[in-house]
């Protein structure tokens, strides 16, 4: 949604990692067992991946980062990177969902292996390209609980890192996709900073990863 509204790239670190895994790259081979266990890939790998992505020309007008930073060291590294690039964030969106709901949504979720769109349980095929849907490795029940624990311990503190700058907008992630979309648009369009230079969305409200409001 944000991507099409502002015409800026949606940089989803989870999708980037899964693409590496699917392509069987060295990074992918390293990341695969870590994600399957519900853990976080190391800060170094994540930071290097983001740095490379932000250096691409399509991010010059702005970007949405989804799924990063998930830890304080990642947030600090990202601050340094943004300084180097002469950029700043306009908004940090925190999608708040209660834990039971989070568990329910994550463990029932299906994903299109081709375009990565996510769907609620019971959906058969992707509406965009007709592919059969699958469950992601890291959405399987055994990975979801550790993901949530890691999220509470490592990612929740990231919010305070950004709260200091008055950047955080809390979004109620319990409503419908439409409700969430409305709140997200209101938060980003009433941004105190002038032009949209980039947003970061720590994969908030939803466990160690996941996007409640699809920004597709
Ligand atoms: Zn698809």
**Segment 87-128, tens digit of pLDDT:** 999 899 998 888 888 888 888 889 998 888 889 888 999 999
Q: Please give the residue range of the domain that contains residue 207.
A: 2-100+155-215
Answer yes or no: are the C-beta atoms of 109 and 209 closer than 8 Å. no
Q: What pLDDT does residue 203 have?
A: 39
pLDDT tens-digit readout, 142-168: 888 888 888 889 999 999 999 988 899
What integer pLDDT is reported at residue 111 of this predicted model?
92
Q: Tell me if 147 is assigned to some domain.
A: no
Does 15 map to a domain? yes
Say what the pTM is.
0.74
Partners of residue 118 on adjacent β-strands: 111
pLDDT recorded at residue 79: 93
* Cα 132 to middle of ligand 1, angstroms: 8
Average pLDDT over the chain reads 83
> Could you give the residue ranges of the DSSP H alpha helices within the chain?
2-6, 13-23, 26-36, 43-54, 72-85, 99-108, 141-150, 156-163, 177-189
- Rounded to the nearest angstrom, the distance between the alpha carbon of 13 and the centre of ligand 1 is 18
How many percent of the chain have pLDDT more than 70? 88
Q: Is 114 inside any structural domain?
A: no
DSSP 40: P
Report the CATH number at residue 60.
3.40.50.300
Ligand 1: distance of its center to the CA of 166 in Å? 37
Q: Which of 9-23, 134-148, 185-199 has the lowest mean pLDDT?
A: 185-199
Q: For the chain, how many structural domains are there in total?
A: 1
């Amino acid at each position: 949604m944000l991507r099409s509204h502002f015409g800026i790239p949606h940089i989803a670190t989870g999708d980037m990692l899964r693409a590496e895994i699917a392509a069987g790259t060295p990074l992918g081979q390293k990341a695969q067992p870590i994600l399957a266990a519900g853990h976080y890939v190391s800060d170094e790998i994540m930071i290097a991946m983001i740095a490379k992505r932000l250096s691409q020309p399509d991010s010059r007008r702005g970007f949405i980062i989804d799924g990063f930073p998930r830890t304080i060291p990642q947030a600090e590294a990202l601050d340094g990177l943004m300084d180097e690039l002469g950029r700043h964030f306009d908004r940090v969106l925190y999608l708040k969902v209660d834990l039971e709901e989070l568990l329910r949504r994550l463990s029932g979720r299906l994903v299109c292996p081709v375009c990565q769109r996510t769907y609620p349980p019971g959906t058969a095929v992707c509406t965009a390209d007709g592919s059969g849907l699958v469950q992601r490795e890291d959405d399987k029940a055994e990975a979801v609980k550790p993901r949530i624990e890691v999220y509470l311990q490592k990612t929740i503190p990231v919010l305070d890192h950004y709260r200091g700058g008055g950047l955080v907008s809390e979004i109620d992630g319990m409503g419908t996709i439409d409700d969430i979309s409305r709140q997200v648009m209101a938060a980003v369009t009433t941004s105190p900073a002038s032009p949209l230079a980039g947003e970061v969305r720590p994969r908030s409200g939803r466990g160690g990863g996941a996007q409640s409001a699809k920004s597709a």
